[in-house]
């Protein structure tokens, strides 16, 4: 169970938190912290996805959205160096991993 959940000032969050507490999905001791800019790191993480998907003008189906977003996130994880054994900025290792996973030369 999370100790603290940090969100922006949207009025829907306290209502959702209360509903989760009532059905015991969330502990009563979990604190809701509503701070306008504190979660910007999380919000900025998906900026890249918005930039890539905006020109597509949406997706035709849920499955195409799911597959596309999974691919974008996989590439971001590789680029950020969050894959074990590959350091951030090591483009040669990143290219070798992509080639091994997908069978394509990056």
DSSP string for 95-106? HHHHHHHHSS--
Whether the pLDDT of residue 102 is over 80: the answer is: no
Q: Is the pLDDT reported for residue 42 higher than 70?
A: no
Q: Which residues contact 82 (CB under 8 A, 6 or more apart)?
A: none
pLDDT score recorded for residue 32: 92
C-alpha closest to that of 38 among 67, 13, 73, 63: 13
Note the pLDDT of residue 14.
93
* Percent of the residues in the chain that have a pLDDT greater than 70, as a whole number: 92
Tell me the mean pLDDT in the region 30-56: 78
Q: Does residue 79 contact residue 94 with C-beta atoms inside 8 Å?
A: yes
Give the pTM.
0.49
pLDDT at 106: 55
């Amino acid at each position: 169970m999370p100790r603290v959940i940090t969100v922006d000032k949207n009025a829907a969050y306290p209502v959702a938190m209360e509903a989760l507490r009532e059905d015991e999905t969330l502990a009563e001791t979990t604190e809701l912290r509503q701070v306008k800019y504190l979660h910007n790191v999380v919000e900025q993480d998906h900026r890249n996805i918005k930039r890539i998907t905006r020109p597509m003008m949406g997706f035709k189906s849920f499955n195409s959205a799911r597959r596309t977003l999974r691919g974008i996130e996989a590439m971001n994880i590789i680029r950020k160096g969050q894959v074990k054994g590959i350091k951030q900025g090591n483009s040669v290792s990143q290219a070798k991993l992509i080639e091994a996973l997908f069978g394509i030369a990056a």
